Structure 1
Amino acid sequence: MCGIAGIFDIRLQREINRNLLTRMNQALFHRGPDEGGLHLEPGLGLAHRRLSIIDLASGQQPLFNEDGSVAVVYNGEIYNFQELSAELVKLGHVFRTRCDTEVIVHAWEEWGERCVERFRGMFAFAVWDRNRRSLFLARDRVGIKPLHYVVLPSGHLLFASELKALMIHPDFPREFAPPAIEDYFAYGYIPDPKTFFKGVFKLLPGHTLTVQWGKPVPEPCQYWNVSFKSQDKAQDKVCQELLEELQEAVRIRLIAEVPLGAFLSGGVDSSAVVAMMSKLSNTPVNTCSISFGEPAFNEAQYAAQVAARYQTHHYLDKVESNDFNLLDRLAEVYDEPFADNSAIPTYRVCELARKRVTVALSGDGGDEIFAGYRRYRWHIHEERVRNLFPSAIRRPLFSFLAAIYPQAEWVPRPLRAKTTFQELACDSIEGYFHNVSLLPDGLRSQLFSHAFKENLQGYQAIDVLRAHLQQAPDHPLSRAQYLDFKTYLPGDILTKVDRASMAHGLEVRVPILDHQFVEWAAGISPTFKLQGGNGKYIFKQALAPYLSEDILYRPKMGFAVPLAAWFRGPLRKRVRQAVLSPLLADSGIFDMGFLGHMVDDHEAGRRDYSAALWALLMFEASWRRILEGREGASQVVGTRAFAN
């Protein structure tokens, strides 16, 4: 795993500032602590930080073809590189290394922009072709590896694995984007392709971007999309194929010349990956877990059960309620506001794993692919009720019931009738947006100042989901999965794991998100994924010989932390200071009177505002870091950017 960065002069062939490129590269040191490399020529600068995994002796980057006319900087792993190498050798290409990086160079020479269709793996890379006078950027199909870019007024295109590298540039546009802030408080992250900054983008998963000297920068081009077209197969056949496909996806991810292991939470997905690894390995698998002092959030006993069954070398670390020194560290790791509180245990489990291994396999993606989230079950139930009433009757009826029913946040989600009525009054996409929202529309409206809401100019975070509807499937379950696959999976889950792992120089591989496995799983009938209210039905059926019923059918706990209690206890002072800080007041974004009521009501136990307070806490930490730190901080747009 690595970090990449670069500067491309679109208009002219001006000399690139070596010192600037070096500092951009050094900002990514954590992603590749083993080696660093630069290449500069008129109009172009390429930079790379390397974490050595395969072909440790060679494979340094930037890496060139035989005549030096094509160069690549690359972050990721291409698991079918040996087969592609053999094919390319037969076509006349000459290889000088045994690493997967060189495959990209020769694949580009042979197949051009379609080379990405041949790669099986996770990747973000940039190919410079001097003869074609072009820079080609590409990101893997699912979005496991990140790639950010911006076109400056000067005509320079900057790209990098993380925003922190782009922010080194003195001309980086530091004006915050109001829609991104609305998105953040709705979803808890900033969905692709947006970033926190105007004019700065994430390359979408499954997309490429080709930029040529002297030509306008085009829109990115999509080369892959997941298709939820179910096939008619018997259950036994599906279970058999599932195990074969999963085992193959795990097998190709066991290639490494460095110590390798797995995350083991005790949930179905990570346990399935460990079971397949143990079946394929001649030696005990290294597994790592995190435990909590709070029993309601602690899955350590289930992880230990799986570790004992497969006789793994199991390592356990504990997150205590006083583990608060990570708050500012998380703001540094994620570069822009990120409100998934499971970033804390994710950071810690990556820290633990790196002490033992350089590569770890994870179980991420199982909930999106096999419908494991409880919200899928709620959404299907709500869709059935919606279909019983014409819209002209349903909307006013359930809106009225929602208005008169009292708020009851203290009861379990399925029993919150007010919330259910609100969602039934909505159409399908509005209802699902309500299901996935970190903060509902009403709370966000109270949170923001009048000036900021005017700056939004009518933009609403639900527009993110609506933008994906054109390519979404018709079945309500498949549609919900598709929307998560395009938003929550890359924007939250994969971002969380990439930044947390790379902060420790750890490579994480994700077999359940192997694109061939994803394509196969997307073809499973929705009735096999969610059956009788049981999510991941077919996944659990297939894994019955490998995992106990305790692992397969216990209630889902998730990788979260007890925020509500923390904010009324050891973090109480920190929350009040951050949420009511002059920094947020001066931003012009928030209604500070309402923020004060939130803090008071939460401390007194009258309302549970833990999700909103955590989002504000992380927003303040990111905002403060951006304004106070890094080169170019003096050029940040004034904090009161959204005042009238």
Structure 2
Amino acid sequence: MVCADGSLSDGAFDEWLPSEPAIQYTTDHVAIATDPNECHSSGQSAGAGNESVRCWLLGDVYGYEAGGVGRSGGYEPRPADIDPAQYCLSLYERTGLEFLEGLNGNYTLLLYDRENRHFTLCTDRFGTVPVYWTRTDDDRIVFSTNVQLIPFHPDVDTAFHPAYLHEYLAFRRTFGVKTPLEGVEKLEPGAITSIGLENGSVRADQYWRPQYQPRDESFEWFVEEFTDRFRTVVDEWTHDDCEYGVLLSGGSDSRLVLAALDNATAFHMNDWMNREARIAERVALEAGAEFRLLERGADYRIGALERNRWADSFNGWFSQPYTSGFETEITSQVDGVLSGLYSDSLFGEYGVPSPNVSLGPLGSMTVPIERPVDSVDEYIDLLLETAADDLEMPTDLRTILESNIYRDGDQVVHHGVTYESLKDVVYYGDCYPLSNDDDMRFHSDLRRMLPYRSPFLDNRLLDLSLSMPPRYKLRRDLIGQAVTRLDPDLAAIPHASTGVSLSRSFPVEYAGEHFLEFWRKHVTKRTPPKPYLTDGPWLDDAELLRSFDFTGEVLEQRGHLADAFPGPNADAIRRLYHTHCHDEDRVGELYTLLTVLTMPVTAHLTDSETTDPNRAKPNASRYRQSRVIDVE
């Protein structure tokens, strides 16, 4: 914690956190509680050994480029034998906070200059390690990496914010710095947040924003540049004396990661040995990697309701820390893990809006041309098209969006985060900050489990994404062509979703994907062993809800919580579930509601029994450990 009134003591956390997290640092003004296994810490001394500057690093730092990554200063990877916190502290000593412009990594950095009474929190470019903060009535600042812990602090007074809860229920994510808790926000991405210890002031200055600047280069140039950068990123992070795992699917993103590694264990999560699993196994065998099937099934999915209750963010569903039930299997075999997360957002079609064309009884298809978005109102229309907004809510979703997304001169403000242009919002608003993406729970869970990296979040690849023309993202396959260059044999294996090899041209892939989808829906008579099983990477959640009444079980235990928060009450949720069971797909609404109802913070804020002053302390197990940082 950071405190402006000088009243902190060694017992600063006694009323808030259990005794397990070690209090690593406490002064009259600052107290930090962390898990030492998940937070790097370093200090430097002035004079006779008294520490003048202290540094804590959540996440990891990969390297530094003087003048900023992508400029001419010369990039240097962080030496593996130098602690990342000490590395950052040495850069800070040389350049002050200017070093952040060239710092490459996925991190949140805390700097406490005791002599000058400055406390600073620094986020990486995309805000990949979210930190949540609030101000107490006596002007203390409390912050944590787990948003659910903040309301349990004895001096924090909060409640559900109806508008932002509505957004979470509609989009299964919150945007920008907003959360569904009143007075609780996230740190801005790419920003330096300074807390004044004399007066409790909080000021955020962004040092980086995504600015789309397309390069007039051939697609082949981008393939070569991307492949070289990707191979460099993987080579720098991996070491001969460590064992690495890849979260392997039957698609192309994780296959590219495997192609860039010399040796790895391929972990494939699935519910049975279906077509997707067989493709993944074939890829692993071709790459010479050990194949490990992490078998899930209905019990694993339903069990996530309890297993992931303390997952920290209002982004995604209870099911989205996908690996949380396989921690022992993964950590006992490898020292680090890589994934292909965010390649579609940064280098694929997800980042570019495209029109969807209805084919009547045959379904629909996305046309690979860019849909123009020329105003903030059109961008809001685009968001509303993806919303699950059939819920009984006291707020209007369009009004909420219009109040939070607006122009400020030439810039656009989106839920407290500033973008240089509307184009930047359209292309990157779904992943900048990273908490705008509903897979944040998956990303955060991997980060807690063991050393983890998604190469696509390296600054050198982020920079390249900002220069890639939309036509290449929509009508070319950068990832598939990169696999072809790194390992043609892996590229020759069909993609599980298209049925054609990665080395084929985009028109063939596009036709193959839609033909295969048509074939599965209207021609083939193949039926999985259970109605909720599929031939793809995920089970059919719509059928899972119909096959097992875990919705009813949650409502029986926690329906009174729904009656107390600003959303649909228990009877409305039961009606929604009844509608779903009669063939109207309501997975989005139901899964988001189940996620909220099973969160401990919901009981804490709405149940009179748990809001008693003598309530039990939070027990967040592995989510409590995850680098809990608190500022008063």
What interval of TM-score do these two structures reach, taking the shorter chain for normalisation?
A: 0.7 to 0.9
Q: Which residue of 1 aligns with 2:227?
A: 243
Q: Shift in Å at residue 250 of structure 1?
A: 1.4
- 1:97-155 CA distance string (max 9 Å, x none): 83121122222222222232231111112110012211010111122212122221222
Q: Which residue of 2 aligns with 1:33?
A: none
Q: Which residue of 2 aligns with 1:603?
A: 581
TM-score (normalised: structure 2): 0.77
Q: Shift in Å at residue 630 of structure 1?
A: 13
1:558 and 1:344 mapped to 2: Cα distance?
A: 18
Q: Which residue of 2 aligns with 1:562?
A: 540
- 1:207-228 CA distance string (max 9 Å, x none): 1201122235233211112222
Q: Which residue of 2 aligns with 1:3?
A: none
Distance 1:368 1:310, change over 3 A: same
2:86 and 2:375 mapped to 1: Cα distance?
A: 55
Q: Which blocks of at least 5 consecutive residues in structure 2 are unaligned?
A: 68-78, 368-372, 407-411, 496-501, 503-508, 518-534, 616-632
Distance 1:194 1:479, change over 3 A: closer
Q: Which residue of 1 aligns with 2:395?
A: 453
Would the aligned equivalents of 1:174 and 1:636 in 2 still touch at CA under 8 Å?
A: no
Letter in 1 for 2:25: H
**Count of residues paired in the alignment:** 549
Q: Which residue of 2 aligns with 1:617?
A: 594
1:236 and 1:153 mapped to 2: Cα distance?
A: 58
Q: Which residue of 2 aligns with 1:394?
A: none
Q: Which residue of 1 aligns with 2:474?
A: 530
Would the aligned equivalents of 2:305 and 2:318 in 1 still touch at CA under 8 Å?
A: no
2:15 and 2:442 mapped to 1: Cα distance?
A: 26
Distance 1:427 1:197, change over 3 A: closer
Letter in 1 for 2:333: R
Alignment of 1:224-239 (within 5 A): 224-239=208-223
SS in 2 for 1:75: strand
1:307 and 1:600 mapped to 2: Cα distance?
A: 43
Q: Which residue of 2 aligns with 1:20?
A: 13
Q: Which residue of 1 aligns with 2:482?
A: 542
* Residues 1:119 and 2:103 are matched in the alignment: yes
Distance 1:232 1:425, change over 3 A: closer
2:121 and 2:44 mapped to 1: Cα distance?
A: 16
* Residues 1:293 and 2:272 are matched in the alignment: yes
2:172 and 2:614 mapped to 1: Cα distance?
A: 23
* Residues 1:9 and 2:9 are matched in the alignment: no
- 1:16-57 CA distance string (max 9 Å, x none): 343516964867x5xxxxxx45111211112221337xxxxx
1:270 and 1:600 mapped to 2: Cα distance?
A: 38
2:14 and 2:252 mapped to 1: Cα distance?
A: 44
Q: Shift in Å at residue 171 of structure 1?
A: 1.1
Task: Choose which of 109, 131, 137 in structure 2 pairs with 1:147.
Answer: 131
Task: Choose which of 480, 483, 503 in structure 1 pairs with 2:426.
Answer: 480
Q: Which residue of 2 aligns with 1:102?
A: 86
Q: Shift in Å at residue 83 of structure 1?
A: 10
Would the aligned equivalents of 1:265 and 1:271 in 2 still touch at CA under 8 Å?
A: yes
* Residues 1:272 and 2:256 are matched in the alignment: yes
2:159 and 2:613 mapped to 1: Cα distance?
A: 10
Alignment of 1:183-582 (within 5 A): 183-255=167-239, 259-278=243-262, 284-293=263-272, 295=274, 299-323=276-300, 324-334=302-312, 336-340=313-317, 343=320, 345-348=322-325, 352-373=329-350, 376=352, 379-381=353-355, 412-414=363-365, 428-435=378-385, 437-440=386-389, 443=390, 447-449=391-393, 452-453=394-395, 458-460=399-401, 463=404, 467-468=413-414, 471=419, 480-486=426-432, 489-493=434-438, 495-502=440-447, 505-531=449-475, 537-545=477-485, 546=487, 547-548=491-492, 550-551=494-495, 552=502, 553=509, 555=513, 560-571=538-549, 574=552, 577=555, 581-582=559-560
* Residues 1:61 and 2:23 are matched in the alignment: no
SS in 2 for 1:528: helix
SS in 2 for 1:171: coil
Distance 1:631 1:224, change over 3 A: farther
Q: Shift in Å at residue 255 of structure 1?
A: 4.8
Q: Which residue of 2 aligns with 1:38?
A: 24
SS in 1 for 2:25: strand
- 1:57-96 CA distance string (max 9 Å, x none): xx96354446411011211111127999xxxxxxxxxx9x
SS in 2 for 1:79: strand
SS in 1 for 2:60: strand
2:609 and 2:57 mapped to 1: Cα distance?
A: 25
2:208 and 2:311 mapped to 1: Cα distance?
A: 29
SS in 1 for 2:208: coil
2:588 and 2:566 mapped to 1: Cα distance?
A: 21
Q: Which residue of 2 aligns with 1:71?
A: 54
For CA contacts below 8 A with separation 6 or more, give which structure has more relative contact order. Answer: 2
Q: Shift in Å at residue 308 of structure 1?
A: 1.2
- 1:349-380 CA distance string (max 9 Å, x none): 5554223224211111101111233x84xx33
Would the aligned equivalents of 1:182 and 1:460 in 2 still touch at CA under 8 Å?
A: no
Q: Shift in Å at residue 498 of structure 1?
A: 3.7
Q: Shift in Å at residue 266 of structure 1?
A: 2.5
Would the aligned equivalents of 1:65 and 1:106 in 2 still touch at CA under 8 Å?
A: no
Would the aligned equivalents of 2:3 and 2:200 in 1 still touch at CA under 8 Å?
A: no
Q: Shift in Å at residue 528 of structure 1?
A: 1.6
Distance 1:521 1:498, change over 3 A: closer
Would the aligned equivalents of 1:341 and 1:561 in 2 still touch at CA under 8 Å?
A: no
1:462 and 1:550 mapped to 2: Cα distance?
A: 46
Distance 1:630 1:121, change over 3 A: farther
Distance 1:142 1:578, change over 3 A: farther
Q: Shift in Å at residue 263 of structure 1?
A: 1.5
2:101 and 2:320 mapped to 1: Cα distance?
A: 32
SS in 2 for 1:249: helix
1:160 and 1:567 mapped to 2: Cα distance?
A: 34
- 1:260-309 CA distance string (max 9 Å, x none): 3221123211111111122xxxxx212211012395xx622222122112
Would the aligned equivalents of 1:81 and 1:100 in 2 still touch at CA under 8 Å?
A: no
TM-score (normalised: structure 1): 0.75
SS in 2 for 1:453: coil
1:249 and 1:425 mapped to 2: Cα distance?
A: 37
Would the aligned equivalents of 2:139 and 2:200 in 1 still touch at CA under 8 Å?
A: no
- 1:535-588 CA distance string (max 9 Å, x none): xx2332233232225133474998543211111112355367369922212335
Letter in 2 for 1:616: L
1:303 and 1:222 mapped to 2: Cα distance?
A: 41
Structure with more of its chain in helix, by fraction? 1
2:243 and 2:453 mapped to 1: Cα distance?
A: 13
Q: Shift in Å at residue 167 of structure 1?
A: 4.0
SS in 1 for 2:543: helix
Distance 1:525 1:589, change over 3 A: closer
Q: Which blocks of at least 5 consecutive residues in structure 1 are unaligned?
A: 1-6, 30-35, 53-58, 85-94, 279-283, 386-404, 417-422, 638-644
Q: Shift in Å at residue 314 of structure 1?
A: 2.3
Would the aligned equivalents of 2:168 and 2:315 in 1 still touch at CA under 8 Å?
A: yes
SS in 1 for 2:58: strand
